[in-house]
Structure 1
């Protein structure tokens, strides 16, 4: 189970927070989608996703060459509430990233 300290430290980085909020909105995203949304390089995005997965906020699944990330369904209720409320009340924080993702060319197709 994730502790409050680990949860909030994980979300204290802007890139990690934006990744989590985008994943909350889209249910599941791959590294390439987050790269396009955040306009950042693959090693940086992958490093942040690995940290979020290691800390228990995200889980991943493989589909061919893609690795998709989603919110860990085993998060405690308090953490889910924090993420849901943060996502709901801070849409302007990820407005540009949502726009970038919406206009991404050649998004991977989920099965």
Structure 2
């Protein structure tokens, strides 16, 4: 027995919806906004990851913890940064650096287009 035309169309719609959900999931931001202090730590982590500097990663982790205790960093910022630092500590330098780049790119704001000047 062959499937009806309606069943085939329904199946195609389901596949398209699943594809759209996956595309949305993969394109959504990984990180939210971070403070200037958080951005500075991200820059430092990027440098340490790029140089594969374990001692610098350890120091940055301590500084992040201290800044969180001092109220200079929100908990969610510290969690993101420490997660990246942990990737580096585990030897996943490239993925840690990619995470830093993603975090920093998500801080970029899109400028409002200028009106026509002519």
User: If the length of structure 1 is used for normalisation, what is the TM-score?
Assistant: 0.34
Q: TM-score, normalised by structure 2?
A: 0.32
- Structure number with greater CO (CA < 8 Å, separation at least 6) is 1
